Amino acid sequence: MKKEKRIYIDKIKKGPVFLQGWVHELRDLAKVKFILLRDVKGIVQCVVKNKKLFKKFSDLTLETVISIKGQSKTASVKSPEVTNHKIEIEVKNIELINKAEQLPILVVEKDKTIKTDLSKRLDWRSLDLRKKKINAIFLIQSEIIRAFREFFSKQEFIEIQTPCIIASASEGGTELFPVQYFEKKAFLAQSPQLYKQLIAISLEKVFCTVPVWRAEKHNTTRHLNESRQMDIEVAFADDFDVMKYLEDCVQFIISNIIKNCKRELAILDVKLKLPKSKYFSYDESIKILKKNKIKIDYGEDLAANEKRFCEMFPNTLIFIHSFPNNMKPFYIWPKDGKISAGFDVLYGGIEISSGGQRIHIPEILIQRLKENKLNPKNFKHYIDAFRYGAPYHSGWSIGLERFTMALLGLDNIREGCMFPRDRDRLTP
Ligand code: ATP
Ligand code: MG
């Protein structure tokens, strides 16, 4: 078959077409055969009436990759899965590109729910990604990152790259994966934190999307050992300035998803609305939780109550600011002896982001390192950078998989990661 211009199934118009994709379903009637052809954008019904093609049809198996040359015609297609019920393709020629063997997991979901258990699906992730619902999750995730980049690029932020191999911890020493770096011991970065600060004190407004690694041994539905972050860091900005950036950025991302991912949202049965925002200090948050009969004391982590807190304020970005100093990392600016300029953001039942104003004064940094039982000698390059003209600065980090999970109501963070790395899984 001569190579022609291929179009996506959702772009089919009347007339001659050249399509390439996967055999989604086959129906073999005596005088006529049907192929449901699928590509990443949709499914179309193809009708084989020409007897000369019946032999080729009989060779087809589910998920076999084929090219189809045909004529798009007006029709009234019954199959519920098709993208456009008003068209079908009369097949003129079929070319087999790669025949699929017996499938280890099914791609077609007959029921509304996906039955194969998650672990088996992840073993066959490449096949799993072809499922309508799974494919929809990652098309939306792609839109999240695209919109994040657009939002900050448009406001003259600079996209930066930070190192993934680092010499010392940025968030405390226990959760790092060690790597042998020639004759030295190094670690996989658990955050771009310290580096994005070093860049922001020179380039002012920066953003990045980076992978991070945390060697936490826990196995929860909201932690991965490798995840991706969407980060910003802004010079001459305080904690409230960057919370506002987060509010506007999340609104922008969600409005783009509502506009550009209608099909995917319908497939996932997710009705998105722009979230409201609420700002509470940590102190106020504890009082609100207590008032709602939740047992919690000042100084306790909110993690166990994030879900309850979010249920009290549906579809809301909850900003919890002014955390106690000792609950935030060493690099967070202490507003006074007790309160810091650090914050968390809750949405959809979980923490999606942490951020704050950072310390830009070397002496305060050294003091806070010591208070956190970290050795300032290990942070010499970092501390020294603030000796030569460092503006005050603030930033935050949104976990990409966490945000995907919160936005789409996924019950496990692994559903929002193409190839999760967790306590047990390193392949595929
Ligand atoms: P948590 O308390 O929820 O475990 P954290 O406070 O340790 O998270 P941060 O250091 O604040 O995490 O990281 C910034 C963001 O990155 C978090 O708000 C979250 O969205 C995401 N994140 C953090 N740890 C993980 C992880 N292990 N897996 C997936 N996403 C993560
Ligand atoms: Mg956090």
Give the pLDDT of residue 131: 94
Provide Rg for the chain, Cα atoms.
Answer: 26
Question: Helix or strand or coil: residue 21?
Answer: strand
Q: Is residue 250 part of a domain?
A: yes
Q: Are residues 67 and 139 in the same domain?
A: no
Give the pLDDT of residue 170: 61
For the cut 70, the answer to whether the pLDDT of residue 268 exceeds it is: yes
How many Å separate Cα 376 from the centre of its chain?
34
Burial class (CB within 10 angstroms; exposed 0-12, middle 13-18, buried 19+) of 8? middle
Q: Give the CATH number of the domain where residue 160 resides.
A: 3.30.930.10
pLDDT in tens, 48-60: 999 999 999 999 9
Pocket test for ligand 1, best of 221, 242, 402, 415 (most atoms within 8 A of CB): 402
For the cut 90, the answer to whether the pLDDT of residue 115 exceeds it is: no
Is there a contact between 45 and 86 (Cβ–Cβ < 8 Å)? Answer: no
Pocket test for ligand 1, best of 177, 328, 351 (most atoms within 8 A of CB): 351
Give the pLDDT of residue 175: 86
Q: Is residue 105 part of a domain?
A: no
Pocket test for ligand 1, best of 354, 404, 414 (most atoms within 8 A of CB): 354
Give the pLDDT of residue 108: 86
Q: Give the CATH number of the domain where residue 50 resides.
A: 2.40.50.140
Q: Are residues 82 and 223 in the same domain?
A: no
Q: Is residue 113 part of a domain?
A: no
Q: Is residue 34 part of a domain?
A: yes
Is there a contact between 243 and 263 (Cβ–Cβ < 8 Å)? Answer: no
Which atom, in ligand 1's list, is nearest to the CA of 402? 20
Question: Of 344, 403, 396, which Cα lies nearest the Cα of 193?
Answer: 396
Q: Are residues 409 and 262 in the same domain?
A: yes
Which atom, in ligand 1's list, is nearest to the CA of 224? 28
Give the pLDDT of residue 4: 82
d(CA 284, CA 281): 5
Q: Are residues 227 and 343 in the same domain?
A: yes
- Backbone phi, psi, residue 374, to 5°: -110, 150
Q: Are residues 67 and 140 in the same domain?
A: no
Q: Is residue 425 part of a domain?
A: no
Q: Are residues 60 and 165 in the same domain?
A: no
Distance 82 CA to ligand 2 centre (A): 42
> Structural domain of residue 94, as residue ranges?
9-98
Q: Find all residues with CB under 8 Å of 350, minimum gap 6, and list them.
A: 222, 306, 307, 310, 402, 405, 406
pLDDT in tens, 346-358: 999 999 999 999 9
Distance 358 CA to ligand 2 centre (A): 14
Peptide bond just before 80 cis, omega within 30 deg = no
pLDDT in tens, 358-417: 999 999 999 999 999 999 998 999 999 999 999 999 999 999 999 999 999 999 999 999
Q: Is residue 141 part of a domain?
A: yes
For the cut 70, the answer to whether the pLDDT of residue 112 exceeds it is: no
pLDDT in tens, 155-189: 999 999 999 999 876 666 568 999 999 999 999 99
Q: Are residues 63 and 171 in the same domain?
A: no
What average pLDDT score do residues 203-231 get? 96
What average pLDDT score do residues 17-26 get? 97
For the cut 80, the answer to whether the pLDDT of residue 103 exceeds it is: yes
What average pLDDT score do residues 122-128 get? 98
pLDDT-derived band of residue 147, with 50, 70 and 90 as boundaries?
Answer: very high
Q: Are residues 182 and 327 in the same domain?
A: yes
Q: Are residues 169 and 220 in the same domain?
A: yes
Q: Are residues 76 and 158 in the same domain?
A: no
Q: Are residues 32 and 167 in the same domain?
A: no
Q: Is residue 192 part of a domain?
A: yes
Q: Are residues 78 and 227 in the same domain?
A: no
Identify the weakest region by mean pLDDT among 95-109, 164-178, 235-249, 266-280: 164-178
- Backbone phi, psi, residue 237, to 5°: -130, 145
Q: Is residue 109 part of a domain?
A: no
Is there a contact between 11 and 39 (Cβ–Cβ < 8 Å)? Answer: no
pLDDT in tens, 281-328: 999 999 999 999 999 999 999 999 999 999 999 999 999 999 999 999
Give the pLDDT of residue 173: 56
The mean pLDDT value of the chain amounts to: 95
Q: Is the CB of 423 under 6 A from ligand 1?
A: no
Count of domains observed in the chain: 2
What average pLDDT score do residues 64-85 get? 96
Q: Is the CB of 303 under 6 A from ligand 1?
A: yes
Q: What is the DSSP letter of 34?
A: E
Residue nearest to atom 5 of ligand 1 (CA): 354
Give the pLDDT of residue 168: 76
Of 41, 72, 98, which residue is a domain's last?
Answer: 98
